[in-house]
Amino acid sequence: MPLTNRGHEILGRLPTARPRTSSGIGCEIVRHEELCVGCGTCAKNCPSGASRRGDTFDVWQLLDAPAGSRRGALGAALRRIARREPAGPIEVPPRVTVYRTIVYDAELCLGCGTCARNCPADAIEALAPKLSMTGDATPTLPTTGGGAATSSATPNAAAPTLAGAASGEVTP
């Protein structure tokens, strides 16, 4: 969510502070599933519940997990006794909370980019919101109804005014 003026003022007084949620909305979230290790950091930090732990688990995430982690140790142990490749995802009992494949629901996603900032595997990218270059070149603040200038461009042009913040940095 965009910070209020008072929020920016407070943030300016605290140089090391970071807002809990992003200052921009509308980034295009690109997930690289082949890099995801399923750690759940995105699910933990997602403000809208778009990234969350699902009901199934892909065993390949264990077998491909990097060494040095708990998943890597479990995957290496599983590899030693494996007789064949896992056919598909397995159901996870309700009390097993960690070993779940992350599901991503684009309908709920705000495009805040928090998941991309926190992802330890760099499996998520937050691309800048697409702005119309044909319309008014100077973006307006969202509080003044900024949708008018770029209404013809993109579907997620509702909050494109902090496009410089798309990489997740705070722009006061």
Binding site for another protein (CB under 8 A): 32, 34-35, 59-60, 62-64, 70, 73-74, 76-88, 90-96, 99, 122, 125
Q: What is the tally of helices (H) and strands (E) in the chain?
A: 5, 6
Closer residue to another protein in complex, CB, 127/153? 127
CB of 88 to another protein, least distance (A): 8
CB of 160 to another protein, least distance (A): 22
Q: In whole angstroms, give the CA distance from residue 59 to residue 61.
A: 5
- Contact between 80 and 63 under an 8 Å Cβ cutoff? The reply is no
Strand-pairing partners, residue 90, are: 57
Closer residue to another protein in complex, CB, 34/107? 34
How long a stretch of residues is the chain? 172
CB of 6 to another protein, least distance (A): 37
Closer residue to another protein in complex, CB, 13/95? 95
- CB count within 10 Å of CB 33 equals 12
CB of 118 to another protein, least distance (A): 17
Closer residue to another protein in complex, CB, 25/58? 58
Burial class (CB in 10 A: 0-12, 13-18, 19+), 138: exposed
